[in-house]
Structure 1
Amino acid sequence: MLESAEFLEDVVDRHDLTLSSFEKAVLRELVEVLEPFEEATDLVQGDKHVSISLALPCVLGLRKHLSETATRQCTGILVGLAQSLDRRLAGILEDPLYVTATALDPQFKLTWSNDTERHKQILLKEVAKHTHTGGPQEPSQEPKPPPSKRSKLFSFIKQRPASQAKSIEQELATYLLEEPTEEDSLHYWKRKATDFPQLSQVAKKVFTVPATSTSVESIFKTLGKTLRPERCRLLPKNLETLIYLKANYRLLWT
């Protein structure tokens, strides 16, 4: 904005386009205040990455930014933004879905939490809810294969103990002990599916939720452009296929 204003001042010789030093100072402060909001908006509205796990850290980051930013001309804007942020988005900080998504993002885990035990309990409840099978399962009727005969030649080698499934608590404890990583969250859980089968199952479910409705609104906008009066004979199945390809072409051809 400031660069555009200075460019116009150089190109157009009109007094009414010239900004005073006070106006430039106000614009600089506005840019400083609003720049993190632009970054947060781009992150949570992105459709090329998992966005649900970024919402809670963005709210915390914006809170910190507003509390630490000092301005001379935009104090009222700072106060208004802080109040609006708390009024509109404070609920995210305790929402089980957002807590779970952020904790299962390997770059965050619970490093953002000021009460790790409470948030760990929220996470455990949410994980248990997603992994609940809905009732006792009947034992499998398939006959178990007979144990393989062990060669006497290798009897001196100790048998490997059968691996036991870890509980949710054990998986979570092991996961949280690992150092956070910048690895893409989807790639991380694909790689860790064997180590943390229950947590990876929940991560796959939670990460499918977009942080905002922007991507969905974009699909409806595409639908409006595709289904025009001159194309009113387009079959519903063909329309659905066209919209699907348009929305997912990056995944299909990359």
Structure 2
Amino acid sequence: MIARVLEQMKAISQVLTGDRHARSLIPTWQDAEVLESIHKALHPLSEFTDALSGEEYVSISYLKPVLHLLATSVLAEDAEDTDLTRSIKTKVLAYLNDKYSDLNTQELLDVASFMDPRFKTQYISADNLPAIKARLKTEMVESARRTHNQEKRSRTETAQNSPSAQASWGKAKKTLGSLFKTSAASSALPLPLEDVVEAELNSYLLTPVIDGEDDPLAWWKVHNIHFPRLCKMARKYLCVPATSAPSERLFSTGGNIVTCTRSSLKPAKVDMLVFLAKNL
């Protein structure tokens, strides 16, 4: 709005000049200076806000880099800034620092940035990096053990519920290849799960970062075979939206569906209609 007023300042003055009852509303140079100061401080924030409010791409991992960019560049004081511009920048930075000062929130943002192959450890403090790695290792080990237990339980139930083919047709003959396979398997000791997770994490850190315009989800889809346990962590953290804008859009969609003339819709039907509206 302010940008539009500044753009049309000359036209606005000419229109108001032609009406003697509205001449007092003609913007003065002081008004223009105030608008320019506000515009200079807030205009860059609108671009970042629009980018972080999207829902068709990963946004949570952008927060840490964006906060760093705002503090070091966009909202940093400039020698040409007016007092009003400096005041706005200072208050905005103070608000952002207070909003994201919670330790749990900071840790979440660090983990999300770590799981994004565009950033990894670039925006994570060196003091916080060991804690982030330890958290991911613990979650990867727990997830792997849960998956192993579920698969083991599923195999047991399948074996109990279905008759064995060997029991029906007799004992199957062994091949020479099966004997060598058994020998090789018995001689190779499996690595502890903690060591496997550590190796996978270190291997991920050694891979080069990708371009900032690339899709991190597409990267994880390709490298899922190399980092199967870490890929689960990427799905867990990178799906978090950076802002509440997606949920607010969902509320607006629900408001457009449940109108005064459709107030008797059942909750299940509303869920179906909202789902179709957002996914078709």
Is TM more than 0.5 here? yes
| Matching residue within 215, 221, 238 for 1:184 | 215
Q: Deviations over 1:8-53 (max 9, x none)?
A: 2355535445433343333333222212211221122111111111
Q: How far, CA to CA, are the matches of 1:240 and 1:98 in structure 2?
A: 31
The change in CA–CA distance for 1:124 and 1:39 in structure 2 (over 3 A counts) is farther
Question: SS of the counterpart of 2:124?
Answer: coil
Matching residue of 1:90: 101
TM superposition score normalised by structure 1: 0.78
Tell me how many residue pairs correspond in the alignment: 237
Tell me, yes or no, if the aligned pair for 1:56 and 1:92 is still in contact at 8 Å. no
The answer as to 2:84 corresponding to 1:53 is: no
Matching residue of 1:109: 120
The change in CA–CA distance for 1:88 and 1:212 in structure 2 (over 3 A counts) is same
Question: Which is further off, 83-92 or 54-63?
Answer: 83-92
Structure 1 unaligned spans of 5+ = 151-160, 250-254
| Matching residue within 66, 71, 78 for 1:69 | 78
Matching residue of 2:185: none
Q: How far, CA to CA, are the matches of 1:47 and 1:238 in structure 2?
A: 24
Amino acid at match of 1:85: L
Q: How far, CA to CA, are the matches of 1:222 and 1:102 in structure 2?
A: 31
TM superposition score normalised by structure 2: 0.71
Amino acid at match of 2:129: H
Question: SS of the counterpart of 1:67?
Answer: coil
Tell me, yes or no, if the aligned pair for 1:99 and 1:123 is still in contact at 8 Å. no
Matching residue of 2:226: 195
Amino acid at match of 1:124: A
The change in CA–CA distance for 1:110 and 1:79 in structure 2 (over 3 A counts) is same
The change in CA–CA distance for 1:180 and 1:35 in structure 2 (over 3 A counts) is farther
| Matching residue within 39, 42, 66 for 1:31 | 39
Give the alignment's Cα RMSD to 1 decimal: 3.3
The change in CA–CA distance for 1:236 and 1:77 in structure 2 (over 3 A counts) is closer
Tell me, yes or no, if the aligned pair for 1:44 and 1:212 is still in contact at 8 Å. yes
Matching residue of 1:230: 261
Q: How far, CA to CA, are the matches of 1:29 and 1:167 in structure 2?
A: 55
Q: Deviations over 1:174-194 (max 9, x none)?
A: 222222213201111111101
Larger radius of gyration, structure 1 or 2?
Answer: 2
Q: How far, CA to CA, are the matches of 2:223 and 2:118 in structure 1?
A: 14
Structure 2 unaligned spans of 5+ = 165-171, 179-187
Tell me, yes or no, if the aligned pair for 2:58 and 2:241 is still in contact at 8 Å. yes
Question: Which is further off, 56-65 or 26-35?
Answer: 26-35
Matching residue of 2:169: none
Q: How far, CA to CA, are the matches of 2:206 and 2:45 in structure 1?
A: 32
Tell me, yes or no, if the aligned pair for 2:16 and 2:26 is still in contact at 8 Å. no
Tell me, yes or no, if the aligned pair for 2:140 and 2:230 is still in contact at 8 Å. no
Amino acid at match of 2:35: L
The answer as to 2:182 corresponding to 1:173 is: no
Question: Which is further off, 50-59 or 60-69?
Answer: 60-69
Q: How far, CA to CA, are the matches of 1:95 and 1:147 in structure 2?
A: 58
Question: SS of the counterpart of 1:61?
Answer: helix
Larger helix proportion, structure 1 or 2? Answer: 2
Tell me, yes or no, if the aligned pair for 1:92 and 1:98 is still in contact at 8 Å. no
The change in CA–CA distance for 1:242 and 1:39 in structure 2 (over 3 A counts) is same
